[in-house]
């Protein structure tokens, strides 16, 4: 089944490496049947940790990473992506999604997501502000350079970015 595919494609090791690189630990593989992750001790002995013990951010990242790598969906939508994520894990996640085999749409109220997207510094990253005002949906796209200036100069929270009511 799917677990065999995950192991054959080494996704269980890739996701462990991704988490390791993101939170500065040494994990070698995720064991999905027991919901554990293998860690190497400083003296080289492996031991197992419950994935739940690594925090909500890691718990929610592992299945998304695994599903995207295994299924290669055309589109991945993630609402409030920053919820429970350590800032370094969020940065790594956004960087990975830029190169992942999917188009990713991330919804957020966090300046950390905007900052991580700007750090990716690729033309394929777009920033939209979407809100309703008096029953009307307003969508505005922000140029990366324009958004970078807004964030750097004022440290604005993206929820308060100005939205044009024209057209």
Instruction: Return the pLDDT at 150.
Output: 78
Q: Which residues of the chain have pLDDT under 70?
A: 154-167
Alpha helices of the chain — where are they, by DSSP H? 2-8, 11-23, 56-71, 87-99, 111-120, 144-154
CA-CA distance, 151 to 115, in Å (whole number)?
8
Instruction: Return the pLDDT at 163.
Output: 61
Instruction: Return the pLDDT at 124.
Output: 81
The residue among 164, 115, 161 whose CA lies nearest residue 137 is 164
Instruction: Return the pLDDT at 156.
Output: 52
Instruction: Return the pLDDT at 158.
Output: 56
Burial degree of 83 (CB within 10 A; 0-12, 13-18, 19+): middle
Quote the pTM value.
0.82
Backbone φ, ψ for residue 78 (5° rounding): -135, 110
The residue among 122, 116, 145, 141 whose CA lies nearest residue 130 is 141
CA atoms within 13 Å, Cβ hemisphere of 153:
7
Instruction: Return the pLDDT at 74.
Output: 95
CA-CA distance, 34 to 50, in Å (whole number)?
8
* 3-class secondary-structure state, position 35: coil
């Amino acid at each position: 089944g799917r677990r065999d595919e995950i192991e054959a494609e080494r996704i269980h090791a890739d996701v462990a490496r991704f988490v390791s690189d993101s939170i500065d630990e040494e994990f070698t593989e995720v064991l999905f049947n027991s919901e554990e992750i293998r860690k190497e001790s400083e003296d080289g002995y492996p031991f197992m940790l419950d994935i739940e013990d690594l925090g909500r951010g890691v718990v929610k990242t592992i299945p998304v990473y695994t599903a995207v790598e295994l299924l290669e969906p055309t589109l991945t939508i993630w609402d409030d992506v920053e919820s429970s994520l350590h800032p370094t894990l969020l940065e790594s996640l956004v960087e990975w999604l830029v190169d992942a085999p999917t188009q990713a749409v991330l919804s957020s109220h966090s300046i950390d997501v905007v900052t991580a997207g700007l750090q990716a510094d690729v033309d394929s990253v777009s920033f939209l502000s979407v809100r309703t005002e008096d029953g009307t949906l307003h969508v505005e796209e922000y140029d990366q350079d324009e958004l970078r200036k807004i964030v750097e100069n004022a440290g604005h929270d993206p929820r308060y970015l100005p939205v044009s009511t024209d057209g």
